[in-house]
Structure 1
Amino acid sequence: MRTIPGFRRSSPPRAFAALLLVPFLALSLAGCGGGIPLGVLDPVAVAEGTKQVPLFVATTRAKPKIELERMFSGDRDKTVNHAKLTVSIPPNHQTGQIEWPSRAPGDSRVNFVTADRDYMNSQAFLQTIKAELARRKPDDRTVLVFIHGYNTKFEEAVYRFAQIVNDSGFKGVPVLFTWPSRGALLDYPYDRESAVFSRDDLEATLDDIATKTGVRKIDVLAHSMGNFLFVETLRQATIRGNGTFHGKIGQIMLAAPDIDIDVFRRQLMVIGQLKLPITVFVSRDDKALNFSRMVWGSQVRAGAYTVSDPAVMEKLREANITVIDLSEVKGTDAMNHGKFASSPDVVKMIGGRLAEDGGIQQRPAGLGEGIMALGATVGHTVGQTVGTAVAAPGAILSGQAPVLAGQADSE
């Protein structure tokens, strides 16, 4: 290659290097957002033996100009829109899986299908949630808010959340907060800005649920880039003096957080003062976070970072933060990015977390090696763990973020 005088050859820019991964990632992600058949959310009659999961939706997505593919598109809206859907789970459902139809709208005997759907205004949204909560036993008058990640179409967010609700055994009222993701691999920058765009509306939604529905507590489960949206929202609410949302915030579960490790540390320095119960699910073999790391200049993402430091464990315990390392848990998706929902044992663990106000008490059968829970039982391993690896926020709270030997090559 001829070199231009005055310039020297150098390595490809990091952004360009990340693009070299696109063909591999595109193949790995086949069957996610891009493989969803048109009209999959069209309501159909359901067969006997199916299980119905009602979901409430609050979204900063816009309604499509032509109601064809979905109820909401990947475009941004100036206001928060609301809806309710009922998802039907087939009798042959396997825990951790979504039985997608190959053609829309699908067969309820073997596929996830939509039994009912409708738009609603904000008042009806809150009133209906209030009525649903009132029908439940006092202990079950809880709301679980799910915030999806990057590269997620509306249909995918709906069916994934329905699967989590069903498989975890959650008995409260599920609310999906879905933000304007384009559901396309190369739209990472747009998705990132859409997450920032949605912070105030997520804060307002959580505040409304806390004050206008009679809810006992609000649990939150966020995934991937949805963690950035939620943690930023929680941070700004904390600064405003309402980080607990009137004392209603319960369990906070952050799955594979796609957040710069230094940014995450700063966020938790503010939020950690509240000592809310926070669980972080991490995995060193998360390929989607690897891609994000390349895009952002090789800075490790919080959901893939591991350290080993007893002092860090103590600080985690003091801040009421539990870290679950899923590195040795076998994932069913090619990217190892959805273990929190696709691993039967992990999704059941989440169900246990939702059912209890305290920490995870025991190891689910068959979860495998390499999982450690910190919190009320610092230093106590759940199952057979290799060493004392603990992930992500350890470096955050300690103020240190060293890269372990061999980590840069393995991630």
Structure 2
Amino acid sequence: MAEHGQTFGAGRQTLVLRWMCCAAMVLLAACAPRVTAMRAAPDPAATIQPVFVATGRKLDQTGPIFGLERKEGLHYFRADISIPPTHQVGRIEWPEGPPDAATDFVVTRTEVFDRPDRLLADMRRGGAGTETLVYIHGYNNTLSEAMYRLAQIKTDFDIDMPGLLFSWPSAGDPRGYIYDRDSVLYARDDLAALLTRLTARPGDKVFLLAHSMGAQLTMEALRQIALSGDRTLLSRISGVVLMSPDIDPDVFQRQAEAIGKLPQPFLIFITKADRALTLSGFITGRKPRLGVIDAVDEVERPDVTVIDFTALSDGEAYNHYVPVTSPAAISVLNGIIGQASQGGSVFLRDMTLALPSVKAARR
């Protein structure tokens, strides 16, 4: 009995220690200042990435910015993000002093649209094509961070199609995990309605890139679309990537069952060294999240491909964005895109190839 008691006591101490470490991480992150997108004059050597935004964030009454609170319906606007000529792959160069387009990500132009059709007209101007990359950010993201992340992804992957950010009302605070989970449920109708608008014309397609808790939001929206019987909309989704998904694996299985035939390709990017999802697992009851599952074959669906990026982790951002922040991972993905066939989506057409540094499995 004494041995069992000692074992239990040691296990309990380990658990308490882990919780204390996780709490310390949250508090440290909460105390860190958040950066904000800033305007600056354009630099002739910089690259301009137009980022279109649909957001359910309420307009902050203290200034002309979109804040953290929820609103009914969506705001629509465009922000031209300037990427500096000194940009390094996988990084977002935030200003360390006055913003300078020669060295920093900056905003050079913005335009607010009073109707969604005006955003769509601007987005499709100049023969931009009929396929749109829709990025759904994750937990603890501000609007500025999500805009810059999409601009960085478009730049590093040389994506020509228009990029639209769906910015749901995350609290932008590491202490707001439960608030953000509720915001996901609040925003799923808006995301479903946005996808309906983006695919209204024959030939229109969308490719969904969802990160972290944004993957939960994406699955909820797809489930809702499927339950409404709108298979036409689902057929116009040219692919889905769930990157570091913050979803309970059991919940994902039920969501996928409700959706039925999933859009193809349907990819899950996991990183077992993802410290942010490890913390999420503690918060939600110590069950591993989908983005840190132990084996790529744990997702038992023939229409889902799981790719493990653990070997390419570099420690950046708690290993929570490895596929788009690790230069090695970006190089691997760009190589796959370059070798892919011409059929299917323009972005990440065929991710079922297995390379030595990346494990992929299809059941």
Preserved contact between residue 28 and residue 334 of structure 1 (Cα < 8 Å): no
Preserved contact between residue 56 and residue 175 of structure 1 (Cα < 8 Å): yes
Call closer, same or farther: CA 1:150–1:337 in 2, change over 3 Å. Answer: same
Which residue matches 1:23? 24
Which residue matches 1:126? 120
Unaligned runs of 5+ in 1: 1-8, 379-411
Secondary structure at 1:62 match in 2: strand
- 1:92 maps to 2:75: no
Q: What is the Cα deviation at residue 342 of structure 1?
A: 0.3
1:217 alignment partner AA = K
Call closer, same or farther: CA 1:64–1:19 in 2, change over 3 Å. Answer: farther
Separation in 1 of the partners of 2:119 and 2:265?
Answer: 27
Q: What is the Cα deviation at residue 248 of structure 1?
A: 1.4
Q: What is the Cα deviation at residue 330 of structure 1?
A: 2.2
1:48 alignment partner AA = P
Separation in 2 of the partners of 1:346 and 1:272?
Answer: 31
Separation in 2 of the partners of 1:339 and 1:327?
Answer: 8
- 1:194 maps to 2:190: no
- Note the alpha carbon deviations across 1:120-157, whole angstroms, 9 max, x for none: 1223112222325xx13xxx531000000001111000
- 1:108 maps to 2:101: yes
Give the 5 Å matches for 1:4-43: 18=19, 20-27=21-28, 34-37=33-36, 40-41=37-38, 43=39
Separation in 2 of the partners of 1:15 and 1:145?
Answer: 40
Separation in 2 of the partners of 1:50 and 1:266?
Answer: 46
Which residue matches 1:60? 56
Call closer, same or farther: CA 1:191–1:248 in 2, change over 3 Å. Answer: same
Which residue matches 2:6? none
Separation in 1 of the partners of 2:23 and 2:203?
Answer: 44
1:49 alignment partner AA = A
Q: What is the Cα deviation at residue 167 of structure 1?
A: 0.6
- 1:294 maps to 2:282: yes
Preserved contact between residue 248 and residue 290 of structure 2 (Cα < 8 Å): yes
Q: What is the Cα deviation at residue 46 of structure 1?
A: 1.0
Preserved contact between residue 15 and residue 297 of structure 1 (Cα < 8 Å): no
TM (norm. structure 1) is: 0.76
Give the 5 Å matches for 1:134-149: 135-136=127-128, 140-149=129-138
Preserved contact between residue 353 and residue 360 of structure 2 (Cα < 8 Å): no
Separation in 1 of the partners of 2:107 and 2:81?
Answer: 5
- Note the alpha carbon deviations across 1:225-280, whole angstroms, 9 max, x for none: 00000011001111112255163101100000001111111111223424532110
1:360 alignment partner AA = M
Separation in 2 of the partners of 1:293 and 1:98?
Answer: 27
Which residue matches 2:110? 117
Call closer, same or farther: CA 1:74–1:356 in 2, change over 3 Å. Answer: closer
Preserved contact between residue 28 and residue 335 of structure 1 (Cα < 8 Å): no
1:374 alignment partner AA = A
2:241 alignment partner AA = M
Separation in 2 of the partners of 1:67 and 1:16?
Answer: 42
Secondary structure at 2:246 match in 1: coil
Preserved contact between residue 271 and residue 313 of structure 2 (Cα < 8 Å): no
Which residue matches 1:328? 311
Call closer, same or farther: CA 1:195–1:284 in 2, change over 3 Å. Answer: same
Which residue matches 2:151? 162
Q: What is the Cα deviation at residue 216 of structure 1?
A: 3.7
Which residue matches 2:3? none
Which residue matches 2:324? 341
- 1:208 maps to 2:197: yes
Call closer, same or farther: CA 1:290–1:243 in 2, change over 3 Å. Answer: farther
1:372 alignment partner AA = K
Q: What is the Cα deviation at residue 347 of structure 1?
A: 3.5
Which residue matches 1:150? 139
Preserved contact between residue 148 and residue 178 of structure 1 (Cα < 8 Å): yes
Secondary structure at 2:66 match in 1: coil
- 1:179 maps to 2:168: yes
2:215 alignment partner AA = N
Q: What is the Cα deviation at residue 22 of structure 1?
A: 2.4
Separation in 2 of the partners of 1:348 and 1:96?
Answer: 10
- 1:273 maps to 2:269: no
Which residue matches 1:382? none
Call closer, same or farther: CA 1:207–1:300 in 2, change over 3 Å. Answer: same
Separation in 2 of the partners of 1:350 and 1:270?
Answer: 30
Q: What is the Cα deviation at residue 338 of structure 1?
A: 1.0
Q: What is the Cα deviation at residue 195 of structure 1?
A: 1.0
Q: What is the Cα deviation at residue 348 of structure 1?
A: 5.0
- Note the alpha carbon deviations across 1:290-333, whole angstroms, 9 max, x for none: 11111111111011012365xx68x54x32x1111011112341
Which residue matches 1:372? 359
TM (norm. structure 2) is: 0.86
Call closer, same or farther: CA 1:267–1:27 in 2, change over 3 Å. Answer: same
Separation in 1 of the partners of 2:333 and 2:233?
Answer: 22
Preserved contact between residue 130 and residue 215 of structure 1 (Cα < 8 Å): no
Separation in 2 of the partners of 1:334 and 1:114?
Answer: 23
Separation in 2 of the partners of 1:193 and 1:348?
Answer: 36
Task: Please tell me the root mean square deviation across aligned C-alpha atoms, in Å.
Answer: 2.8
